[in-house]
Structure 1
Amino acid sequence: MTDFGLRLRMLVVGAILFAFYLFAGTALSVLLNLPLVPVLLVGILVVPAVQYKLGKWMALRGASDMPDDAQYGHVHQKVRRLCRDMNLEEPRLMVMDMGVPNAFAVGRKGAGVVVVSSELMQLLDDDELEGVLAHELAHIKNRDVITMVVGQSIGMLVGYVAYFAVLFGGERNMGSWILAMVASSLANMLVMVFVLAISRYREYVADADAREAIGSGDPLARALQKISRGASGRESKVDDNLNALCIFNADEGLLQRLFSTHPPMEKRIERLRS
């Protein structure tokens, strides 16, 4: 992470999420009359681990390993060179028909996977593809998937607290059940606003790291423009739950932008070229 402003904002948002987590864990242990430490450990270790494993499995459904042959050998070569320059272990490379030009990364350092759509490789020039690959490798290096999973787990924990607080605070009838579900959803949504803010900051950071890795922001900027145009009017086959992982997410409308996992495309391109 090279931008001090982004670093500061990440620190602030991370502190807010940690405060949510401590409050939710303490409240849940009181409501359920459970020891605090086990609740906190389950909330920060077990739940994220299960979400991480399940999310990785779901993300890779429909993808196949990218062979290091005449068709894809140049992609493997680019990744090897980038990994050497970025001091990163080479990830597993996979290809998927996504319906739109796109790419995403899952996993952690040492066990990362980069998935590239066949549509993307047909669309981009070599230097543009290199920029996209560097962006995805930056996500793995910065542990962004793990960061997002932990944030989502905190949102889930806060939602449970709201649910049990409403349910135990009144009569247990149908109205209380409905109110508890609504309160849980609203509480989870509140936390997710901050989680999604982290996601948007992470995209800027991955863009900046990719620019540093390839020596220029212009190839990735051109790639983002082509991806945006190439996705227009086409139906994506990517599951909605994977949007946060993809390099491009076409969110439209005020509400969708508020809960978008990605910053506006024009701002990303402007930063890359500044």
Structure 2
Amino acid sequence: MTDFGLKVRMAIVGTILFAFYIGAATALAIMFGVNIWLVAGVGIIVLPAFQYKLGKWMALRGAEEMPEEGPYQEVHMMTESLSRDMGVDKPKLMVMDMGVPNAFAVGRKGAGVVCVSTELMQLLSRDELEGVIAHEIAHIKNRDVITMVIGQSIGMLVGYVAYFAVLFGGERNIGTYILAIAASTIANMLVMIFVLAISRYREYVADDDARQAIGSGDPLARALEKISQGAQGRESKMDDSMSALCILNVDKSAFAKLFSTHPPTEKRIAKLRS
């Protein structure tokens, strides 16, 4: 990661999320009269671990391990070379019919998985596919999946605090329960604004890491153009909750962009070619 501006922004957002976490853990500990370290442990270890396992299982449903022989042999060799150059263990390669040209990574360093769609394999040239795989390996190297899971866990923790604060602060009736649910949803959305900001920053970082790994940003830029165009008029078979993992970005309305997991495709392409 070489962009100083991105480093500063990620540091600021990370500090804000940590403050949310400490505040939420403290509030829950006071509400229920339990040890703050017990709440902190559940909030930052147990909950993320459960979400991580569940998310990985959901993402890879329907995927098949990519054979090392035949038409996929070159992809394995390419991934082996990229992994060696980027200083990580070679991830397991899987292939899936996603309905659109796409790719995503799950897991951590030493236990990563890169999954590509059959549509992507048919669409991209060799150097473009190399750029996409390098981008996904960068996500594994930078522990981006784990970072996102922890961020989502903080959002859930803050949501619980808002829910119980409203519930304990008023009479126990249907109106209070509805208000508590609304407060929890709003609190979670507030935290997720910052979590998704980190997600967008990390896409730029993975793009830059991929550019350094393959020596040029143009192949990945061309791949993003083809992926964006190739997805038009097609319906993705991926669950919407998996969108943060995928390389595909669909441009949305100004409001929706606030909750987007990816920066605009045209900005990514411009940075790769700058």
Q: What is the deviation of 1:81?
A: 0.5
Q: TM-score, normalised by structure 1?
A: 0.99
Q: What is the deviation of 1:34?
A: 1.3
Task: Give, in whole Å, the separation in 2 of the partners of 1:149 and 1:2.
Answer: 24
Number of residue-to-residue matches in the alignment = 274
Task: Report the equivalent of 1:131.
Answer: 131
Q: Does 1:79 align with 2:82?
A: no
Task: Give, in whole Å, the separation in 2 of the partners of 1:104 and 1:186.
Answer: 29
SS of 1:37's partner is helix
Residues 34-67 of structure 1: CA deviation (Å, up to 9, x unaligned): 1111001110110000000110011100100000
Task: Report the equivalent of 1:204.
Answer: 204
Task: Report the equivalent of 1:266.
Answer: 266
Residues 5-45 of structure 1: CA deviation (Å, up to 9, x unaligned): 11111100000000000000000111112111100111011
> Where do 5+ consecutive residues of structure 1 fail to align?
none
Task: Report the equivalent of 1:213.
Answer: 213
Task: Report the equivalent of 1:11.
Answer: 11
Q: Does 1:167 align with 2:167?
A: yes
> Where do 5+ consecutive residues of structure 2 fail to align?
none
Residues 206-237 of structure 1: CA deviation (Å, up to 9, x unaligned): 00000000000000000000000000111011
Q: Does 1:238 align with 2:257?
A: no
Task: Give, in whole Å, the separation in 2 of the partners of 1:164 and 1:84.
Answer: 49
Q: What is the deviation of 1:257?
A: 1.1
Residues 175-228 of structure 1: CA deviation (Å, up to 9, x unaligned): 000000000000000000000000000000000000000000000000000000
Q: Output the amino acid matched with 2:10.
A: M
Contact residue 249 and residue 263 of structure 2 kept, 8 A: no
Question: What percentage of residue pairs aligned between the two structures are identical?
Answer: 72
Task: Give, in whole Å, the separation in 1 of the partners of 2:86 and 2:2.
Answer: 14
Task: Give, in whole Å, the separation in 1 of the partners of 2:162 and 2:264.
Answer: 32
Task: Give, in whole Å, the separation in 2 of the partners of 1:7 and 1:66.
Answer: 35
| Superposition RMSD in Å | 0.6
Runs of 4+ in 1 over 2 A off after TM superposition: none
Map 1:47-86 onto structure 2 (within 5 A). 47-86=47-86
Contact residue 251 and residue 265 of structure 2 kept, 8 A: no
Map 1:23-62 onto structure 2 (within 5 A). 23-62=23-62
Q: What is the deviation of 1:70?
A: 1.4
SS of 1:170's partner is coil
Task: Report the equivalent of 1:153.
Answer: 153
Q: Output the amino acid matched with 1:137.
A: I
Deviates more, 1:233-242 or 1:154-163: 233-242
Q: Output the amino acid matched with 1:151.
A: G
